[in-house]
Amino acid sequence: MARQFLNTLEDPIVQTKAGKLRGFLLDGIYTFHGIQYADADRFQLPHPVAPWDDVRDATNYGYICPVHANPAPSSELFIPHRFWPANEHCQYLNVWTPGLDGRKRPVMVWFHGGGFSDGSSIEQVAYEGDALAAYGDVVVVTVNHRLNILGFLDMSSFGEKYANSVNAGAADIVASLEWVRDNIAAFGGDPGNVTIFGQSGGGRKVKTLMNIPAAEGLFHRAIMMSGGVRPDPDKTTNADHRQLVEKMLEILKIPVDRVEELETVPYELLNRAFFRASEGQVLPNMRWGPVANDWYLGDPFKVGFSEYAKTVPTMVGTVMAEFTAMAKPEQYALSEAEQEAVVRAHFGDASDELIAQFHQAYPGKPLINLDRLDTSTRLGATRFVDLKVAASSAPTYQYLFALNFDIMDGVPAWHCADIPFVFHNTHRVACCNIPGVTQKLEDEMAGAWVSFAYSGNPNHAGLSKWKPVTDKHETMIFDRESLCRSNYDLPLLRRMDEVCPPKSADEILMDNMKKDGKQENSWMY
């Protein structure tokens, strides 16, 4: 049967504040790709786009931001990706909506992973918003913004012109929410009911927005998925950045008194100069991100939450194995006795205690999961939740995605594995399809995210009761049988952390990026 499609000179067209846009209709969902929400000169804060008189095409994705290194082909079966042309003028977003009918639907604005260094709004196939828009009767928005050098290089020591260059990329994100406020009603969305959500680096972007005064009132609920749940890395000082920039100028043969010439150096040359200049310095690529100043209050872990953030209902969660799921995948096929041998070799004298705690916390799970169990992100999430609950008048909900997939004899949920379920996009990711499991779990998760967007409460008819967090650390466990549990795994995780402190996510990612003596981007974010 042919799918319903519409794209004519007259329909669908939406009037935005800056001008008219033409999208397309497919199977009941109106789609508008590549909407420019702002523009900016290099190292400067964004500004609104100039109005136009004609009808602009919105059927192509917009430019994504250039990144430090090309991704290396890997993990496509687990995290299918797409690639797209890059340009530093990358302030584009995408909109999916069930109707251009004047209704006020909840709006869900997605911020992609990749830290503040990599990624894009369309990089993962699972980011497509049509299925979630249809399932939940919501408007879905995904956002590109400036990253790495372009979005977060601290040039402030070179004059007032660059006073907030270190937060330019975060300012793009705020500008995207301003665009939503000013225009989303024309797409059938409610600017007074906006949920921001993101995974990995996207979760950190959500956390950042909570403490940016300029973002207050632009969102009303927040969801952090496997990101933002630990204190931000310590930033280098202005002097460190000045030294870095001066070294880049030297490499590029530009005198310091002509620093403005950095604004026109092609990105490829600028990027090359950055890596040469930063060699041996405390400026790893993973540490790009906003810095506290008059514009950004700072990391809530370090300065607390803004008064506005305290009023925002929040969901926070992680997945079972995060960055360790793919370590030695052949071990998932081991016998029970062989799995126990692996665990005992890893944990030594603490093995008996940890094995007993694991079986109590995760009944029915293969013991090899104990060797893969994420502690860093999960414990970080519990600490963030404690901080938010103590400070906030709004409820906070906590979850863990704990599914063991059928692929490779039972790989536990990896970093990004929850995204297809949240977006109701498991049909786009082959390994997510498990007979008798996928549809129910996908409806539970997408339903919870949609319910939260509607009301600030994730409970819905298809899910067991999900309680907000108290001192009992209530957590919804999304699995083959989903249920909310209290105080179920913290003793295990804390003991594991004592016995065998894990590498940080930054360390793991940096390890993954160094292959065959050259730097490559990992897709596992």
Could you tell me where the DSSP H helices lie in 456-504?
490-499
Contact (Cβ atoms closer than 8 angstroms) between residue 232 and residue 380:
no
Contact (Cβ atoms closer than 8 angstroms) between residue 81 and residue 114:
no
Q: Which two tokens stand for residue 101?
A: 């009918």
Q: Which two tokens stand for residue 272?
A: 């090359």
If you search the block for the tokens 């930054």, which residue do you land on?
A: 506
Output the CA–CA distances (angstroms, integers) from residue 277 to 117, 153, 353, 412, 483, in the order listed.
17, 13, 48, 40, 51
- Catalytic machinery residues: 200, 322, 415
DSSP 172-235: HHHHHHHHHHHHGGGGTEEEEEEEEEEETHHHHHHHHHTT-GGGTTS-SEEEEESSS-SPPPPP
Q: Is 425 exposed, middle or buried (0-12, 13-18, 19+ CB in 10 A)?
A: buried
Burial call 252-267: b when 16+ CB within 10 Å, e when fewer: bebeeeebeebeebeb
From the list 223, 293, 200, the residue with the least C-alpha distance to 449 is 223
Q: What are phi and psi of 385, to 5 degrees?
A: -60, -45
User: What is the enclosing helix (H) or strand (E) of 108?
Assistant: strand 105-111
DSSP 29-46: EEEEEEEE--B--TTS--
| CA–CA dist 509, 323 (Å, integer) | 8
* DSSP β-ladder status, 92-97 and 24-26: unpaired
Q: Which two tokens stand for residue 8?
A: 């004519």
| CA–CA dist 490, 474 (Å, integer) | 11
